[in-house]
Amino acid sequence: MRNAMKLSFLVSSLCLLLPLCLAANVTYDRRSLIIDGHRKLLISASIHYPRSVPGMWPSLVQNAKEGGVDVIETYVFWNGHELSPDNYHFDGRFDLVKFVNIVHQAGLYLILRIGPFVAAEWNFGGVPVWLHYIPNTVFRTDNASFKYYMQKFTTYIVNLMKKEKLFASQGGPIILSQVENEYGDIERVYGEGGKPYAMWAAQMAVSQNIGVPWIMCQQYDAPDPVINTCNSFYCDQFTPNSPNKPKIWTENWPGWFKTFGARDPHRPPEDIAFSVARFFQKGGSLQNYYMYHGGTNFGRTAGGPFITTSYDYDAPIDEYGLPRLPKWGHLKELHRAIKLTERVLLNSEPTYISLGPSLEADVYTDSSGACAAFIANIDEKDDKTVQFRNISYHLPAWSVSILPDCKNVVFNTAVIRSQTAMVEMVPEDLHPSVDVTNKDLKSPKWEVFVEQAGIWGKADFVQNGLVDHLNTTKDTTDYLWYTTSIFVNENEKFLKGSQPVLLVESKGHALHAFINKKLQVSATGNGSDITFKFKQTISLKAGKNEIALLSMTVGLQNAGPFYEWVGAGLTKVVIEGFNSGPVDLSSHAWSYKIGLQGEHLGIYKPDGIKNVKWLSSREPPKQQPLTWYKVILDAPSGNEPIGLDMVHMGKGLAWLNGEEIGRYWPRKSSIHDLCIQKCDYRGKFRPDKCLTGCGEPTQRWYHVPRSWFKPSGNILVIFEEKGGDPTKIRLSKRKVSGICAHLGEGHPSIESWSEAENVERKSKATVHLKCPDNARIATIKFASFGTPQGSCGSYSIGDCHDPNSISLVEKVCLNRNECRIELGEEGFNKGLCPSVTKKLAVEAMCS
């Protein structure tokens, strides 16, 4: 907390100088939030503080600000803060005060979604698991115990924010706060306890007297003065439940989450921009991207079950903190265009005009005569030409054009003018830290500790029958050993000479079955169905056979009615194939052991590695289950973000210097799944519309923040459950290797618009190329002015081509960090293909 105190002092000092730090009066009416008497049209971005690290927070916030964002939004993660009753944690990734102060220092507002139930694909929906085991507690209903603990934590967070003067009413950045989360969708399922609980939550929140409004998302009966808000891919048709409340969109999903073994979802930037423009066209005033930066589910924080460690979300800023281009750039231009209309939009009522089938305009004119218009083509297939105020406009299918003066188009949602970035994960061999006994060490020296299959030490308990996994571990670990034995007579014969068959049924999530210390079968559910059952032939010997079943969770349920009662673990274990009939072991005596020996001894922590005897080896064992691997490394060179490449490993957990990288599992999606080569942005988006990655690992690389590395002596610890090849583990650098742009005539940059003059300066369409900081444009790999074909990475020359294209682009761009090329003004052949609308496509390499 020391760093947070320093930052808090710094911000407090700056507040003496900055008008932003003055107490603000935040109110609202039907049109917008009103801050100190001024209406605000706001663009918000979700960045969850524990899904990145403090060293990343300033750059993430700055990238959001540069992307045209006014507000940062975050949940508060109850189970990350209250580890046990009254045991609070606000350090490291969970330093909420430091995060809010960084947002404040950047001059942005903040929306604090306290919840404290958050869903968010976060373990147990953000609610502490210990609360489930408080007697007579039922989550999210009119239950005295749950309400007591919920109010207690909410009050704790509110008081913390008040103490640090972080609400806008105190001069801080917090302009809105949220209680509960998407409860209206399931309220009726809770019967008589549903509505009273929702009304209590609202009343409890308002009674906190924070000086700014409260919101409840997807809460259709939110009582005054609480604002009900919308969560969806599209919210243009949303209407608040009171004519006195503004139209707010708390979750616009610019991508989607992933589950292990599934394909990668992608949402096209054209469709995201369309949804945002439609929202503001139809009277919206505050829109939030969930997520703008998704980040990483470090450690065991992922929910689901089966949510990946990566929470990249296909967001405008990627998991590693790099702007995702063209998505980030396209939305930045959208935000600039919308802001040009702010004054008129918020101070007038729209006039709706039908321009034909699937064509419509909303026109805003204020008392001074200033005018702004949005023209939409909501046809999912066909481009159209419309007449508006005696001017002809071309509208691509499923697009909105923004006219800040009701005349000139400064932005169309389907026309991407921003550059595209080609991003690579560049592998680097592990660099072992110098061993004082062998200064010529070139290959890593691995150390190994092997877990015993089954009970290590003494059993935690012995019980007849199969227990629920979660009720036993209480989520202190992913792992629970179920062990028993079966005796096979020497003269035992199996049916028709076949081998015995192990039949297992489980409530989830995954299982490794060991027979006589040997791994014989693994099984798992998935993100669609966490349960599983299987039949597998096994080998038994004459005499006593030890059966050790390692049950595993892969993140806990995070949403749904009564979700806290969803269990896990084995429900049936039978061995079939005996002449005498199947042997049902389900009711036998089972010995149980919670967790792994290495976990109990803390051997993944720098101060715990000496708790076991590690065996050193230049050639560590491969394809060996239940194995801990340790290696000591130097930090990778450079400053690029780092990902741990685990494609040659099986499944397990990873740590660096005791920090939890998280679960790894390069589980592949099916090659028989349907994937797309190019996504058609037209028409309503759904999570299964634009999927890629068929037959590939859902997650290959695992983010390791740069701030976790020391220059040398970094301890990487891996626990491998089922077997892999640690010699093929790599640390990969995330690099922008190339950039592309593809723009046609007739699409001038939004930068050519002058709001003061309310006119568009006559200018050519301009291609803007920019390499990352400290990099230069080293090569022009492709350039064509004319009718180039293809997309970034695969451009080709079309029927019309200026042969001087590459040399002209090289003249303007080579050896520069960024450059701008005006179409038709850099020596391009103006008489080329006179009847054709020409484009310029460029691909450049950065180094």
Residues 571, 451: Cα–Cα separation, whole Å: 25
Residues 288, 316: Cα–Cα separation, whole Å: 12
CB-based contact 567:468 (threshold 8 Å) = yes
Whether 599 is catalytic: no
Where b means 16+ CB within 10 Å and e means fewer, 77-111 reads bbbbbbeeeeeeeeeebbbbbbbbbbbbbbebbbb
Instruction: List the strands of the sheet with 583-584, edge to edge.
Output: 532-537, 501-506, 570-576, 583-584
Q: Which residues contact 437 (CB under 8 A, 6 or more apart)?
A: none
Residues 111, 46: Cα–Cα separation, whole Å: 9
CB-based contact 516:502 (threshold 8 Å) = no
Omega before residue 316 within 30° of 0, cis: no
The 3-state DSSP class for residue 557 equals strand
Q: Which residues contact 392 (CB under 8 A, 6 or more apart)?
A: 385, 386
Residues 282, 361: Cα–Cα separation, whole Å: 10
Structural tokens at position 764: 């050519």
Q: Which residues contact 494 (CB under 8 A, 6 or more apart)?
A: 500, 577, 578, 579
CB-based contact 96:2 (threshold 8 Å) = no
Q: Which residues contact 164 (CB under 8 A, 6 or more apart)?
A: 8, 97, 100, 101, 172
Instruction: List the strands of the sheet with 26-28, edge to edge.
Output: 26-28, 33-35, 38-40
Omega before residue 509 within 30° of 0, cis: yes
CB-based contact 112:177 (threshold 8 Å) = yes
DSSP secondary structure code for residue 680 in this structure: -
C-beta atoms surrounding 637 within 10 Å: 9
Residues 718, 705: Cα–Cα separation, whole Å: 17
CB-based contact 103:7 (threshold 8 Å) = no
Residues 24, 29: Cα–Cα separation, whole Å: 16
C-beta atoms surrounding 825 within 10 Å: 12
Residues 154, 142: Cα–Cα separation, whole Å: 17
Structural tokens at position 388: 């508006």
Q: Which residues contact 794 (CB under 8 A, 6 or more apart)?
A: none
Bridge partners, 40 (sequence order): 33
CB-based contact 512:721 (threshold 8 Å) = yes
CB-based contact 97:163 (threshold 8 Å) = no
CB-based contact 324:318 (threshold 8 Å) = yes
Structural tokens at position 93: 């990734």
Residues 644, 661: Cα–Cα separation, whole Å: 9
Give me the residue label for tokens 């080293």: 778
Strands 248-252, 286-293: pairing kind: parallel
C-beta atoms surrounding 243 within 10 Å: 8
**Per-residue three-class SS string for 576-622:** ECECCCCEECCCCEEEEEECCHHHHHCCCCCCCHHHCCCEEECCCCC
DSSP secondary structure code for residue 432 in this structure: B
Catalytic one of 82, 182, 640, 660: 182
Whether 696 is catalytic: no
Which residues are known catalytic residues? 182, 251
